[in-house]
């Protein structure tokens, strides 16, 4: 019985580690490539989609700081971030209509479509992983949730070395938590402002130029 539990625990750790690795690729690496690709091709539809995506994805970076600071609800915020990022790439009617106009042989839009579905799968997988450790959504500091903090430890080391090199100061967990919570407040205020002012006005129209196809 003990061996079975240990094997399941190892499998769970591996699954969570893999989820974070895939997140790095599909949440950061591929969209960055698509963004610069869309600039080169002067495709305003894809460029607008990725511009919106990066604004929304700031919450994901904020959640990483909260994970480093071991904020109790950090994992919950991470899941909200991935959910909003997924919604942001499907939400806009004018962009969706524009992407449908392109042939499968057009590589930029085809890659964008494949990435959107991949992002959706990654987000759902991340949510399922989190729900399997449901208590971690509200109490990341418990012993059972340590596996969720390990993937952010490498990022913490990078930020800590950055602070030491450029500012000659120590980057601590309390500082990471403070920066994360302060950024979360600013992000939330901005999101509320958009929801109250811009969303009712524009609806699901991203307002990208109708001449965005090249």
Q: What's the token pair of residue 134?
A: 């449901």
**In the chain, where the domains are located:** 2-202
pLDDT at 176: 87
Q: Give this prediction's pTM.
A: 0.85
Residue 209 has pLDDT above 70, yes or no: no
pLDDT tens-digit readout, 105-129 = 889 999 999 999 999 988 888 888 8
What band does 130 get if pLDDT is binned at 50, 70 and 90? Answer: confident
pLDDT at 212: 43
In whole angstroms, give the CA distance from residue 175 to residue 2. Answer: 39
pLDDT tens-digit readout, 3-48 = 444 444 555 566 666 667 777 788 888 999 999 999 999 999 999 9
Q: What is the mean pLDDT of residues 176-202?
A: 93
Any residues with CB less than 8 A from the CB of 135 and at least 6 apart, and which? 142, 144, 145
Region label for 209, one of left (φ > 0), alpha (ψ between -120 and 50) or beta (otherwise): beta
In whole angstroms, give the CA distance from residue 124 to residue 184. Answer: 23
Q: What's the token pair of residue 62?
A: 């904020």
Average pLDDT of the residues of the chain: 84
In whole angstroms, give the CA distance from residue 204 to residue 89. Answer: 11
Biggest CA–CA distance in the chain, Å, is 64
In whole angstroms, give the CA distance from residue 183 to residue 154. Answer: 21
What band does 147 get if pLDDT is binned at 50, 70 and 90? Answer: confident
Residue 58 and residue 194 in contact, taking contact as beta carbons nearer than 8 Å: no
Residue with the larger pLDDT of the pair 168 and 84: 84
pLDDT tens-digit readout, 155-187 = 667 777 777 766 666 778 888 899 999 999 999
In whole angstroms, give the CA distance from residue 25 to residue 192. Answer: 29
Residue 193 has pLDDT above 70, yes or no: yes
DSSP secondary structure string, 51-118? HHHHHHHHHHHHHHHHHHTT-TTHHHHHHHHHHHHHHHTT--HHHHHHHHTS-TT-HHHHHHHHHHHH
Q: Which of 64, 79, 87, 78 is nearest to 127 (CA)?
A: 79
pLDDT at 211: 47
Dihedral of the CA atoms 48, 50, 54, 56 (nearest 10)?
A: 70
Q: What is the mean pLDDT of residues 88-114?
A: 92
pLDDT at 154: 67
Q: What's the token pair of residue 135?
A: 């208590």
pLDDT at 171: 76
In whole angstroms, give the CA distance from residue 121 to residue 51. Answer: 21
């Amino acid at each position: 019985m003990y061996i079975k539990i240990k094997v399941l625990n190892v499998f769970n750790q591996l699954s969570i580690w893999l989820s974070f690795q895939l997140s790095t690729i599909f949440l950061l690496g591929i969209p960055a490539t698509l963004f610069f690709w869309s600039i080169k091709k002067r495709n305003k539809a894809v460029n607008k989609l990725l511009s919106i995506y990066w604004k929304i994805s700031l919450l994901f970076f904020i959640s990483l700081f909260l994970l480093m600071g071991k904020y109790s609800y950090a994992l919950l915020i991470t899941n909200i971030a991935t959910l909003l990022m997924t919604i942001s790439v499907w939400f806009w009617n004018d962009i969706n209509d524009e992407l449908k106009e392109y042939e499968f042989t057009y590589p930029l839009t085809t890659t964008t479509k494949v990435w959107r579905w991949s992002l959706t799968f990654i987000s759902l997988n991340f949510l399922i992983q989190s729900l399997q450790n449901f208590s971690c959504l509200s109490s990341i500091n418990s012993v059972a949730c340590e596996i969720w903090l390990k993937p952010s430890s490498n990022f913490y080391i990078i930020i800590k070395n950055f602070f030491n090199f450029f500012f000659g100061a120590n980057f601590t967990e309390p500082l990471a938590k403070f920066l994360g919570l302060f950024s979360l407040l600013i992000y939330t205020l901005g999101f509320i402002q958009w929801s109250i002012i811009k969303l009712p006005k524009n609806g699901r129209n991203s307002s990208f130029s109708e001449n965005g196809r090249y």
